[in-house]
Amino acid sequence: MPEPGTRAQIELRQASKVYGAGQAEMHALRGIDIRIERGEFVAVMGPSGSGKSTCMNILGCLDTPSGGSYLFDGIDVGSLSRDQRALLRRHYLGFVFQGYNLLNRTSALENVELPLIYRGMPSLERRERALAALASVGLAGWEDHTPGELSGGQQQRVAIARAIVTSPRVLLADEPTGNLDSARSREIMELLGTFNRDQNITVIMVTHEPDMAEYARRQIHFFDGSVTGDAPAGGVAG
């Protein structure tokens, strides 16, 4: 862990988020401070409405704080234009969702290639990288299957391959095991742990499940828009 005063990979400084005005005003975040170093595996927990999803949207550059600041590798994200934030998402962040968010009529390989198309990567290089990403999640030989031909666990593996094919610095996972049974959930968590450990990808995961949160090395708890706990976790993934 770097010494205090050194630059964190991700830092929220007194970040707040307010929706609405007057009687309808709602404080989703209330001046929170979070610092995450490169290579951490963090579980973000809390009940519905606690602010954890708002926090993740800000970290993913899908939203901006109403007050305070968000720094990514020392850059104030709030000072970036919409297009610059989109480039930050495209080049530095990977996303995994509970609902997989795959294109139903598109093969696994084409789903994984999609973020590389947005980058303008040549087709041959794109295909090679997508094949390697699918192999890294245990889906070599499944490249031509569409999501409808895959189990839920396999679909989430495709989604993880799509997220890591761009070699992101940070992987943001929103309830990645929420639609899976316990065995498939453990497989997905072990995959996330492997990428965190072997590729030093920072993993930040929202989860309601304490047993899944134990795969992280740190747990941050939210309640009513505030951080109420921030402590080391079990670190099942090693």
- The CATH code of domain 10-232 reads 3.40.50.300
Q: Mean pLDDT in each 10-residue stretch from start to end of the chain (238 residues)?
A: 63 95 89 97 95 95 94 94 93 93 95 93 96 96 96 96 96 94 95 96 95 96 96 68
Adjacency order of strands within the sheet including 41-45: 93-97, 170-174, 202-206, 41-45, 218-223, 226-232
Return the percentage of the chain with pLDDT > 70, whole number.
95
Q: What is the DSSP string of 186-209?
A: HHHHHHHHHHHHHH--EEEEE-S-
Cα 219 to Cα 213: distance, rounded to the nearest angstrom: 7
| 56-80 residue pLDDT tens | 999 999 999 999 999 999 999 999 9
What pLDDT does 32 receive? 97
Structural domain boundaries in the chain: 10-232
| 131-169 residue pLDDT tens | 999 999 999 999 999 999 999 999 999 999 999 999 999
Cα 235 to Cα 197: distance, rounded to the nearest angstrom: 11
What pLDDT does 22 receive? 84
Cα 65 to Cα 19: distance, rounded to the nearest angstrom: 10
Helices marked H in the chain — which ranges?
52-59, 82-92, 108-118, 123-136, 152-164, 182-199, 210-213
What pLDDT does 175 receive? 94
